[in-house]
Amino acid sequence: MTEVKPALDLGTGGSKQDTERKKLNDCLVAIGRTQNETAFATIYEHFAGRVKSFLLGKGMEIDTAEELMQEIMLVVWRRASSYDPGKAAASTWIFTIARNKRIDYLRGNSRVEVELDDSLLEHGPDSHHDADSMETLAIREQDTRKLSEALSKLPNEQQQVMHLSYFRGQSHGDIALWLDLPVGTVKSRIRLAMQSIREGMQLPKGAGAISRKT
């Protein structure tokens, strides 16, 4: 049995979190521009223990998790110049690096992703066919705040399955087993959570609810 209580503090999505988030984004920019070591220390202080927690939660041995965390933080140091605060929060950028590095480590090859120069890439109806604005993790500052608020307002049981999905175990089947719930219940909580998040961010609805011509 694994500890399943979410070690999670989603806060209230208030302005204090905004300030903190902005500070971390600025640090990442400073590392990219001037290799600022104080800024790196701040980023490391905030994220190193969280990245390691992510790796451990996913079942990695403690020594491996420590070592891979260090490697991930070195990637953050080296690639910070490609970070754009207009497109994603520092936390999102670092999360995707950690996730991808874990896959590299486990599988020996990269996570399979969309290739932006694919001739079959479909652009949305309101796209200006501008690969840069379309295809990045573009998110505006107010969207980040709305997402944060939406997450903090989720019922506990939904916060719990979301946290477990991303930070514990390797499948929704695992989570169902830990919580002693049918897989269907886990999945429906995830759907409800994503629905509330999309509503909070005023994004289009999810699968099934939409039939779209392109």
Partner 1 sequence: MNITHHLSDETLIEYASGNLNEALEVVVASHLTLCSHCRQRSHTADHVGGHLLDATKPVEVSHSASDLLNRLRNSETDDTAADQLQSLKTTQKPAQETDNARFLSTDVPRPLARRIPADLDALPWSTMAKGIKHYTLRHADGSKSNHRTGAFKLLKLQPGVKLIEHSHGDIELTLVLKGSYSDSTGRYGVGDVADLGADVTHCPVIDSNEPCIAVVATNSPAQYTGMVGRIMQPFIGI
155 counts as binding partner 1 under rule CB under 8 A? no
- Paired tokens of 182: 């049918």
Spatial CB neighbours of 191, under 8 Å, sequence gap ≥ 6: 206
Least distance CB 132 / partner 1 (angstroms): 14
Least distance CB 136 / partner 1 (angstroms): 8
Closest to 177 in 3D by CA, of 154, 185, 166: 185
48 counts as binding partner 1 under rule CB under 8 A? yes
What's the Cα-to-Cα distance from 161 to each of 12, 111, 183, 188, rounded to whole Å? 19, 23, 11, 10
**Which member of 53, 79, 84, 157 binds partner 1 (CB under 8 A)?**
53
Say how many residues touch partner 1, by CB under 8 A: 109
Least distance CB 54 / partner 1 (angstroms): 7
123 counts as binding partner 1 under rule CB under 8 A? yes
131 counts as binding partner 1 under rule CB under 8 A? no
**Which member of 25, 27, 29, 163 binds partner 1 (CB under 8 A)?**
163
Least distance CB 147 / partner 1 (angstroms): 6
Instruction: Tell me how far the alpha carbon of residue 87 is from its chain's centroid.
Output: 13
- 104-132 burial: b if 16+ Cβ within 10 Å, else e: eeeeeeeeeeeeeeeeeeeeeeeeeeeee
Interaction residues for partner 1, span 174-213 (CB under 8 A):
174, 176-177, 183-184, 187, 190-191, 194-195, 197-198, 201, 203-204, 206-208, 210-213
**Which member of 68, 83, 158, 160 binds partner 1 (CB under 8 A)?**
68
CB 21 within 8 A of CB 91: yes
Phi-psi region of 95 (alpha: psi -120 to 50; beta: other; left: phi over 0): alpha
71 counts as binding partner 1 under rule CB under 8 A? yes
